[in-house]
């Protein structure tokens, strides 16, 4: 069963990561009751770096509760709410189980998966672990982003309904593998680019990679394609 376990918001604040002062919205706290979800943000949530975060394609950052036990073992500590700076902590929706372009109803809002999340240095600063973003990327336990198709209200504890699975079936896990591990798999890149719902940022990145592969190695290495 897919479920919204926690709705988390926060506004940019200055944090000291090591000796560096960073303005970031990664510090989020759980909300109770109905929270308005707009096309760009949850009510009460903002991003500091608008080039890397936020915007219509990345209105909501999602992380899977199933990964929390793994990271607690790896890091040797108990993790609190929104430990990965996510807006939605969900269950039953791991990267292997959902696809780019899938559409869901949560409360009265309708959302769509646009891309996996790429963890940045602010996650490293939050947990005082310089290699944490690379470790998150390596595991594939990245989470992902929603765009908002219909504004509405959401509430922690609500069930999540998949209204329409994307017909191409490109899982978030597959996109992560092509992005970070099987980088020269031209067939896989083309499969991802065929998803009309893919975020503009990831589309540009994959198009540029495909051009480089074409210029340097012909068609690139043919992989096993989409799952």
Please name each of the domains of the chain with its CATH number: 3-171 (2.40.33.20)
User: What integer is the mean pLDDT of 132-143?
Assistant: 96
Mean of all residue pLDDT scores within the chain: 89
For the chain, percent of residues with pLDDT exceeding 70: 86
Describe the crossing of helices 132-139 and 172-180 by its angle, rounded to 10 degrees. Answer: 120
Per-residue confidence (pLDDT) for residue 122, from 0 to 100: 81
Cα(141)–Cα(174) distance, rounded to whole angstroms?
A: 12
Cα(44)–Cα(33) distance, rounded to whole angstroms?
A: 13
Per-residue confidence (pLDDT) for residue 222, from 0 to 100: 42
Per-residue confidence (pLDDT) for residue 202, from 0 to 100: 97
Tell me which of 216 and 150 has the higher pLDDT. 150
User: What integer is the mean pLDDT of 77-93?
Assistant: 96
Q: Which residues, including other chains, have CB under 8 Å from residue 59's CB and lie 6 or more apart?
A: 37, 38, 39, 40, 41, 111, 145, 146, 147, 148
Q: pTM above 0.85?
A: yes
Describe the crossing of helices 186-193 and 172-180 by its angle, rounded to 10 degrees. Answer: 140
User: What integer is the mean pLDDT of 159-176?
Assistant: 98
User: What integer is the mean pLDDT of 147-163?
Assistant: 98
Per-residue confidence (pLDDT) for residue 52, from 0 to 100: 59
Q: Is the pLDDT of residue 121 over 90?
A: no
């Amino acid at each position: 069963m897919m479920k919204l376990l926690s709705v988390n918001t926060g506004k940019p604040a200055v944090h000291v990561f090591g000796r560096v002062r960073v303005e970031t919205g990664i510090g989020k706290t759980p909300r109770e009751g109905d929270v308005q979800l707009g096309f760009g943000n949850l009510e009460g949530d903002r991003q500091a770096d608008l080039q890397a975060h936020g915007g219509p394609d990345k209105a909501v950052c999602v992380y899977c509760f199933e990964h929390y036990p793994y990271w607690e073992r790896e890091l040797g500590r108990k993790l609190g709410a929104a430990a990965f700076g996510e807006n939605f902590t969900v269950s039953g929706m791991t990267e292997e189980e959902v696809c780019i372009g899938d559409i869901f109803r949560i409360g009265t809002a309708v959302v769509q998966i646009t891309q996996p999340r790429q963890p940045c240095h602010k996650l490293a600063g939050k947990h005082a672990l310089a290699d944490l973003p690379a470790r998150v990327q390596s595991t594939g336990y990245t989470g992902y982003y929603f765009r908002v198709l219909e504004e509405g209200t959401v509430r922690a504890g609500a069930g999540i309904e998949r209204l329409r699975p994307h017909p191409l079936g490109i899982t978030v896990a597959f996109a992560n593998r092509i992005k970070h591990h099987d980088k020269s798999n031209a067939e896989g890149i083309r499969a991802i680019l065929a998803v009309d719902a893919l975020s503009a940022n990831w589309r540009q990145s994959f198009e540029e990679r495909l051009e480089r592969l074409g210029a340097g190695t012909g068609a690139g290495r043919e992989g096993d394609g989409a799952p």
